[in-house]
Structure formats: structure tokens, C-alpha cells
């Protein structure tokens, strides 16, 4: 059973008019079918239905000869039977019969050497609009000759029968790496499409092409120096990579080959909660005609979106082509990165605002993927809570995190790249006592790292985390650089630093079997400071 066989059968069900529709046609269909409303800016506002976010517990991978020994099985990558998949796939295709469906051919990966052609079949025009924005759009003269490498079938109205189909509940997303088919059912959340292909690339690029796949943003300076930014939600990844002095390569997903870094996508999928022109001018400006805003609500008796209204979900989103942003690199490809930034919002106030990592420490912090939730963000959280996500995107990595960390270390050494740990969180104490690091200081530290100023200063070693802290940085008060110096009670700092180190080590224990000794030795060492 090959993917082209599946897509041929689906094409037989699709009317000619619903293949690769242009922007105006997609908007027309979406409004006519009741899938959305046009906003004051010309964007389409649509709802994703019951699911307003991904459902990670309902994501599966077919277990077969290709994946059995390579996939990192567990809570993240749950195995699914080949026979069950084939039977469910057949039912999904039959579900399309008699329905108006939409078919779109797109690409993933801006570097032509690694380009993946994807045929996406959706039940709704708004899903198709999302695909139009988020993937790389072929030229019109290419469409007739595209042979898809992968096929995605997205069917929000199809509900699985768990006892029969082998799923956990009625919704599901399942990847078959051998057949190169990805099926989504029971959920209209468009992010499942985006992150499904990201998961595919996180397997195929490292395994087949020796390319490191990364959940990160990237930009390039006037002198051709590239930088990569890793970070979980709330750490400043989007804000800091959107630098007016540098061109944006991409804001979320990239590959690092022996020759380049390149964007996987052709668009951006940004959060819009409390969006304003003042705070996020680039995103605000990008939501023009044809952009897709999801699960938002309007001011009364108007077509103006109220981005403060989170009555549906706090995960309100917008999707738009990357070309809606002014300062971008075209094509979305850059040279080997000179600097890599791991961003964390450390609410414990322990980590330095900037520190330099050895390759082994980089591997350790890359696998850890640390940030912290602050008190009050969720019910029951009264003090900072450490959050870890391997490789800054654990939900999307099919291989053991150690594989990606080893590749990162290799790329670093090949290109003599610097890796920096940036704390955009708290200083002078934990959340509730200290204060958030000022953006102007973080910007100054990034600038100093990017322009080489930190190549010529002295460093001191953190006694617990072992990272190297610069003793001076232009436009940053010297006393801010070493976090211990910012605390009134140094003993309290020592206690909190040891506490955070223990949390790191406890989290890392589950990765130890697939990690090199050098990375294991880079773990923080709890100690008593004087």
C-alpha cells in the first residue's frame, strides 16, 4: 500500500474545483460553508471545534520493521499496530465519499536538497487555508507535476471507535513512516497538521540525511552571521529572534545540515492572546487579508477581533505566510550558525542572565530544555515550578533525545559555534521577591554575544551549574551578571541553586541510558557555598 495509491483514490473523490484553490477561493468557501467570518483586517476568523490545542495522548506511531528499533517508544511515541492502521485508514478514506473535500500540494524544507512534497487532504476550507499559509507554496507551473512524498488526511468529523480501531478515544493522529501517510481524525485543530509533519522531519532528516532537526527560531545578520534561538513558551524566543538589525529565517522549525540552516515552513503560527500593535507590531501587521485567526471572539456588534477575549481558549492563534513579515531572509535559508542561544525564564532566579556553555554542557541543557512556570499561572501553583521538555520540543521527537544532542555537539564542533544560556527570567530573588530581567539588558547581552564582544572578556565558573559567566558586558550593570550577587541573602541563593540543580538531575535520569558519558558529566553538582 503506497501513498500515491491512497492519494489517487482520494483524488477520485475530490472535485477538480477543490484542488489547490487560491486565497480568494478558500476565503469564499470558508464563509459559504460557515467555517469562518471575515474580520476588519480581511483575515478569516475560524473555530477549530472541540479541540483548541493538540492532544498528545492521542498521537501514535505505527510500529513496524522501520520504526521498531529506532523510535524512542514511551509516553511521547506510542506504538500503533500496522493492521489497525490499515483498517482505520480504509475507514477514513471511505468517510470522504460523498463529501466536499479540499486537496493541496505543498512543500516542507526551504533547502531544495531536503525538500519534501506533501499532499494534504482536508474536510474544510479553513484547514486548507492553514496549509496554504504554513507550508512552502509551489509555483503554479509545478502543481501538475508534483508527486507527493507524504500524504496527510485530516478528517475532523470522523470519529474513531476505540474498541474497534485501537485508539484511546474518538480523536487521533497517527503516523506511518513506512507508508508515508499521516491521518488525523476527530479534531479540527490545525496545529495537529503542522506538528505532524514536524514529527516526520524529526525522524527522516536525522536518520536519512544526517540533518539536525530543531524546534527553534533563526535569523541572520548584515554580515551573514546566523543565529539560532531555542526556548519554550514564555522565554522570549519570538521576541528576541525578531531583531530589527537581523533578517528572520524562521520562527519555529529548522534543519541544520553540513552546509546550511533552513526553515521547514513557509509561514508563522503565532499566539494572539492579548495581542496588541504596541507589544507585537510584526504579528499585528501580518494579520492582513487571508490570514487565519483561530478561536478568537469579536467586540460586540463588530468585525473587530478582541484579542483579550479568551472565552474559547487561551491558545488563540493566527497563521499567515512568512512573507507577511517585512524583515525576512528569502529564501528562508542561512549559513552555518555562529551562535546558538538556549532561552529560559528561570523563575527561581538562579541561572545567570547570560553564560557560555561547553559542548558537553550544551548537550545537557539541550536535552533538559528547561524553563519555569511562575506562581499563579495555573491553579494550585504557589511557587515556581520547573518545566522540562527534551530538545525544547519533546512532544515532537521520535528518536531518543541523545541522538539530537550528539548531532548538535557535532555541528557545534564542526563550525566552532558558541552556545549561550540566556535567562530572561528573574534576578535578585525568585518570582515574588526578585524582578524580571529587563528586555534592554537581555538585548544588550545578545548583541554582545553576536558581535563578538564577549570573546574578549574574563569569565567566572558557576560553582553548581559549571557554566561560564562573563564578568562584564557592554550596557549591562556588572552586578547583574552573577546572579548570586543580586540576592540580598546569599545563603538563600545557595539553597535555591542547589534545589534547582537537584530538579535538573532528577529530570535527566530518564535520558541517561541514551546519552554519552561526557554529557552526563556536565550535569550540575550540588554543593555548599560560602
Catalytic residue among 215, 247, 356, 496: 215
* Residue 233 annotated to the active site: yes
The catalytically annotated residue of 133, 195, 254, 462 is 195
- CA 229 – CA 240 distance, rounded (Å): 8
Instruction: For residue 134, give Cα distances in angstroms to 108, 319, 321.
Output: 9, 7, 6
Give the number of other Cβ atoms within 10 Å of residue 189's Cβ: 28
Please pick, among 3, 7, 213, 238, the residue that the annotation labels catalytic: 238
Check 58, 111, 252, 406 and give the catalytic one.
252
CA contacts within 13 A on the Cβ side of 332: 29
Count of alpha carbons within 13 angstroms of residue 519, beta-carbon side: 25
Whole-number Cα distances in Å, 140 to 11, 69, 103, 146, 320: 19, 41, 15, 11, 19
* Residue 146, burial from CB neighbour count under 10 angstroms (0-12, 13-18, 19+): middle
Q: Judging by beta carbons within 10 Å of its beta carbon (0-12, 13-18, 19+), is residue 155 exposed, middle or buried?
A: buried
Candidate list 119, 132, 180, 237, residue with the active-site label: 237
The answer for residues whose C-beta is within 8 angstroms of residue 68's C-beta and 6 or more apart is none
H or E element that contains 122: strand 116-122
Helices (H), 71-190: 82-96, 125-134, 162-165
Of 54, 119, 137, 403, the active-site residue reads 54
- Residue from 40, 157, 233, 435 carrying the catalytic annotation: 233
Whether 54 is a known active-site residue: answer yes
Burial class (CB in 10 A: 0-12, 13-18, 19+), 285: middle
φ, ψ (nearest 5 deg) of residue 470: -65, 140
Sign of CA dihedral 359, 361, 364, 369: negative
Distances (CA, A) of 86 to 89, 120, 196: 5, 18, 18
Task: Tell me whether residue 237 is one of the annotated catalytic residues.
Answer: yes
215 is an active site residue? yes
Among the listed residues 246, 317, 365, 462, the single catalytic one is: 317
Kindly state the helix (H) or strand (E) to which residue 198 belongs, with its residue range: helix 191-209
- Quick one: three-class SS letters along 349-364? CCCCCEEEECHHHHHH
Catalytic residue IDs: 54, 195, 215, 233, 237-238, 252, 317
Amino acid at each position: 500500500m503506497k501513498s500515491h495509491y491512497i492519494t489517487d483514490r482520494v483524488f477520485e473523490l475530490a472535485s477538480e474545483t477543490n484542488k489547490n484553490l487560491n486565497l480568494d477561493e478558500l476565503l469564499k468557501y470558508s464563509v459559504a460553508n460557515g467555517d469562518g467570518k471575515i474580520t476588519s483586517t480581511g483575515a478569516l476568523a475560524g473555530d477549530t471545534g472541540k479541540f483548541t490545542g493538540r492532544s498528545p495522548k492521542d498521537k501514535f506511531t505505527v510500529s513496524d520493521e522501520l520504526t521498531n528499533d529506532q523510535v524512542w517508544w514511551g509516553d511521547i511515541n506510542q506504538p500503533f499496530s500496522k493492521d489497525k492502521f490499515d483498517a482505520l485508514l480504509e475507514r477514513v478514506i471511505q468517510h470522504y465519499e460523498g463529501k466536499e473535500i479540499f486537496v493541496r500540494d505543498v512543500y516542507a524544507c526551504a533547502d531544495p536538497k531536503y525538500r519534501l512534497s506533501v499532499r494534504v487532504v482536508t474536510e474544510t476550507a479553513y484547514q486548507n487555508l492553514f496549509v496554504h499559509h504554513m507550508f512552502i507554496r509551489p509555483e503554479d507551473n509545478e502543481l501538475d507535476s508534483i508527486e507527493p512524498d507524504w500524504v496527510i488526511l485530516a478528517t475532523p468529523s470522523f470519529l474513531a471507535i476505540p474498541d474497534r480501531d485501537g485508539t484511546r478515544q474518538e480523536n487521533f493522529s497517527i503516523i506511518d513512516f513506512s507508508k508515508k501517510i499521516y491521518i488525523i481524525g476527530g479534531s479540527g485543530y490545525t496545529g495537529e497538521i503542522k506538528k505532524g509533519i514536524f514529527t516526520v522531519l524529526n525522524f527522516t532528516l536525522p536518520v536519512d540525511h544526517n540533518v539536525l532537526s530543531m524546534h527553534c527560531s533563526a535569523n541572520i545578520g548584515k554580515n551573514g552571521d546566523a543565529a539560532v534561538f531555542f526556548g519554550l513558551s514564555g522565554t522570549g524566543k519570538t521576541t528576541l529572534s525578531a531583531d530589527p538589525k537581523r533578517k528572520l529565517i524562521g520562527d519555529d522549525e529548522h534543519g541544520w545540515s553540513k552546509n546550511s540552516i533552513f526553515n521547514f515552513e513557509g509561514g508563522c503560527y503565532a499566539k494572539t492572546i492579548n495581542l496588541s500593535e504596541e507589544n507585537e507590531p510584526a504579528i499585528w501587521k501580518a494579520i492582513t487579508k487571508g490570514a487565519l485567526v483561530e478561536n478568537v471572539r469579536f467586540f460586540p456588534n463588530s468585525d473587530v477581533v478582541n484579542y483579550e477575549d479568551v472565552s474559547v481558549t487561551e491558545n488563540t492563534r493566527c497563521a499567515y505566510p512568512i512573507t507577511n513579515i517585512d524583515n525576512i531572509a528569502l529564501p528562508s535559508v542561512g549559513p552555518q550558525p555562529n551562535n546558538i542561544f538556549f532561552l529560559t525564564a528561570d523563575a527561581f532566579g538562579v541561572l545567570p542572565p547570560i553564560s557560555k556553555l561547553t559542548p558537553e554542557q550544551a548537550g545537557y541543557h539541550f536535552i533538559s530544555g528547561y524553563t519555569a512556570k511562575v506562581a499563579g499561572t495555573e491553579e494550585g501553583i504557589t511557587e515556581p515550578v520547573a518545566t522540562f521538555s527534551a530538545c525544547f520540543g519533546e512532544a515532537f521527537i521520535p528518536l531518543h533525545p541523545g541522538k539530537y544532542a550528539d548531532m548538535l555537539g557535532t555541528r557545534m564542533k564542526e563550525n566552532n559555534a558558541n552556545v549561550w544560556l540566556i535567562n530572561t527570567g528573574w534576578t535578585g530573588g525568585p518570582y515574588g521577591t526578585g524582578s524580571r530581567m529587563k528586555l534592554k539588558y537581555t538585548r544588550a547581552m545578545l548583541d554582545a554575544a553576536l558581535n563578538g564582544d564577549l570573546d574578549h572578556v574574563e569569565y567566572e565558573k558557576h560553582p553548581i551549574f559549571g557554566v561560564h559567566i562573563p564578568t562584564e558586558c557592554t550596557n549591562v550593570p556588572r552586578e547583574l551578571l552573577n546572579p548570586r550577587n543580586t540576592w540580598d541573602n546569599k545563603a538563600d541563593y545557595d539553597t535555591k541553586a542547589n534545589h534547582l540543580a537537584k530538579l535538573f538531575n532528577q529530570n535527566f535520569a530518564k535520558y541517561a541510558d541514551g546519552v554519552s558519558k561526557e554529557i552526563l558529566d556536565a550535569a550540575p553538582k550540588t554543593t555548599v557555598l560560602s
